Structure 1
Amino acid sequence: MPATLYSIVGILLAEGDKTPSGPASMLLQLVPFILIAVFFYLLLIRPERRKRAELTAMLNNLKKNDRVVTIGGIFGTVVNVQKELDEVTLKVDENTNTKLRMQRAAIARVLASDSAAPAKTD
C-alpha cells in the first residue's frame, strides 16, 4: 500500500507545475486567506465588540434603585454608584439592610423594572 502511494505521489510530482507563475498567481493564492480573515472578523470580532459596547453602556448608565444581577448570581438593588472609584454599592436584603460593595464590572445585567413592564388586562 505505501509503495503504491509513493508511486502516485512520484507521478504527480513528475508532471510539473502547470499553473502560471507571476504576480496574478500569487494574488489568487492569497484570496482564500483574505476570505478567511473577512469571515473571522464578521463572525467573531464584530459581534464581540458590539457586546462589549452594550455592556459598557449598561455599566455607565447604572443609577440608584436599579435592580441588577452580579456575575456571581447575587440579586440586589443599586444604592450608590461611584464612577470615579468604579464601585457600586448593592442592597441585597431588605430585612437586614445588608449591603455589598463591588466593582461595576461585576454587574452582569440590569433587570427590567416593574414600572417598565406592561400591565396585564383581563
Structure 2
Amino acid sequence: MGDFEQILQTSWPILLMIVIFYFMLYRPQKKQQKERNELLSSLKKGQKVVTIGGIYGEIVSLTEDHVMLQVADKVEMRFARTAIANIANKK
C-alpha cells in the first residue's frame, strides 16, 4: 500500500496538468469548432456574409462545397464554403 501512495504523490502534478490542458485548450477548441460548423451549415441564400479575406457579399447560390457571392452590381465571385468567416451584422 505504501508503493501506491508514493506513486500517487509523485504523479498528481502530471494528472493536474492533464486536467488543466483539457479545460484550457481542448474543450474550448471543440466548442469553437462546433460553432463554426453550425455557422457553415446554416448559410442561406440572401444572407450577407464576410469572407476570411474581408470581402463582403450577399449569397446568391450555395452548393455543398462552394458559395457564390454578389460583391457588387453584376459582380459575382465563387468561394469555398469554408472561406466564410461570419455573417455580416444587419444594422
* TM, length-normalised to structure 1: 0.70
**Structure 2 unmatched runs, 5+:** none
Aligned pair 1:109/2:86, yes or no?
yes
Q: Which structure shows the bigger proportion of residues in strand conformation? A: 2
Cα deviation per residue 1:63-101 (whole Å; 9 max; x = unaligned)? Answer: 001111101110100011102xx110000002xx11111
Deviation of 1:113 after TM superposition, in Å, equals 3.1
Mapped to 2, the partners of 1:55 and 1:93 lie a distance apart of: 26
For residues 26-65 of structure 1, what are the structure 2 equivalents within 5 Å? 26-65=7-46
Mapped to 2, the partners of 1:28 and 1:78 lie a distance apart of: 59
Mapped to 2, the partners of 1:105 and 1:30 lie a distance apart of: 42
Q: What secondary structure does 1:22 align onto? A: helix
Structure 1 runs (4+) deviating above 4 angstroms are: none
Mapped to 2, the partners of 1:33 and 1:90 lie a distance apart of: 50
Mapped to 2, the partners of 1:57 and 1:38 lie a distance apart of: 27
Q: Which has the higher contact order (CA 8 A, sep 6+)?
A: 2
**Structure 1 unmatched runs, 5+:** 1-20, 115-122
Larger Rg: 1
Mapped to 2, the partners of 1:39 and 1:72 lie a distance apart of: 34
Partner of 1:90: 69
Partner of 2:49: 68
Identity of aligned residues (%): 36
Q: How many residues align?
A: 90
C-alpha RMSD of matched pairs (Å): 1.1
Deviation of 1:36 after TM superposition, in Å, equals 0.6
